[in-house]
Structure 1
Amino acid sequence: MTQKELAAAANVGSQTLADFERGARTPHPNNLSAIRSALEAAGVEFIPENGGGAGVRLSKRAS
């Protein structure tokens, strides 16, 4: 998924997403939630902290 595709799927500005990816700013909570929802809809699973650190993986349904 490109930045442009993710920004469109999350309904956030491309610059907001680009700035977030390079660490220039943290999105507003509603934008962060929309980005997470768009990634989850695309098959990304967020793994909580479990002693080894938080992470992500593709869900089996996305394969």
Structure 2
Amino acid sequence: MINDAYPRQLRAARALAGMSRADLAMQASTTERTIARIEDGDSSPRASTLAAIHTALEAAGVEFIDDGGPGVRLKEKAA
């Protein structure tokens, strides 16, 4: 089950990664409609779909955080 903030968190993650819904769908092996439904709060996706989305966004440099509340940030690059 995803939390109520997840649709906003996903939109923010995509924005940080500079990815369109189509880009994310392709990287996560899902459909653009699935991404749209999750972002609109109209879907409760399977765990495997969420995992694929997280993997795609993490590969693009996004980190999901819960530091006093759910959020996202870009990973620090190693020096």
- Higher RCO, 1 vs 2 (CA within 8 Å, ≥6 residues apart): 2
Give the TM-score category using the shorter length: 0.7 to 0.9
- Structure 2 residue runs without a partner (length 5+): 1-18
Instruction: Please identify runs of 4+ aligned residues in structure 1 that moved more than 6 A.
Output: none
**Count of residues in correspondence between the two structures:** 59
TM-score in terms of structure 2 length? 0.69
- Structure 1 residue runs without a partner (length 5+): none
RMSD value, Cα: 1.0
CA–CA distance in structure 1, aligned partners of residues 39 and 71 of structure 2: 16
TM-score in terms of structure 1 length? 0.85
Identity, in percent, stands at 47
**Deviations, residues 9-62 of structure 1 (Å, cap 9, x unaligned):** 0001111111000000121110110000000000001113x4x1121101122x
3-state SS of paired residue (2:42): coil
Counterpart in the other structure of 1:30:
48
